[in-house]
């Protein structure tokens, strides 16, 4: 199945794009989508514990199962003020 991934702030900069698509086996979770992303961008791995994720515009735990066509957003915390 294919899911669409959107990235914000420093994640977007680390990956170099704000949006991409991932091919995942059916039954994959948001965590699996993150792992697939981190495999292609290894420096991302260290960021996982501080990230928030959402699936189809709802904040979602990383074990949320994805369906074909879902939109997954990974949001890093931002500290600037």
Pick the closer one to other proteins by CB: 1 or 52. 52
Q: How far is the CB of 52 from other proteins (least distance, A)?
A: 5
13, 50, 72, 76 from 24: Cα distances, Å = 23, 23, 12, 22
CB atoms within 10 A of CB 48: 14
Pick the closer one to other proteins by CB: 26 or 50. 50
DSSP 20-35: EEEE--TT-BHHHHHH
- Of residues 26, 58, 63, 68, which one binds other proteins by CB under 8 A? 58
Residues forming the site for other proteins (CB under 8 A): 8-10, 46-47, 49-50, 52, 54, 57-59, 73, 75-81
């Amino acid at each position: 199945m294919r899911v669409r991934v959107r990235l914000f702030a420093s994640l977007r900069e680390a990956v170099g794009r704000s949006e991409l698509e991932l091919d995942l086996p059916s039954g994959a979770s948001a965590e699996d989508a993150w792992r697939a992303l981190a495999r292609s961008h290894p420096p991302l791995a260290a960021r996982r514990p501080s990230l928030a994720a959402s699936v189809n515009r709802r904040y979602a735990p990383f074990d949320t199962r994805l369906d074909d066509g879902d939109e997954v957003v990974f949001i890093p915390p931002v500290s600037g003020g």
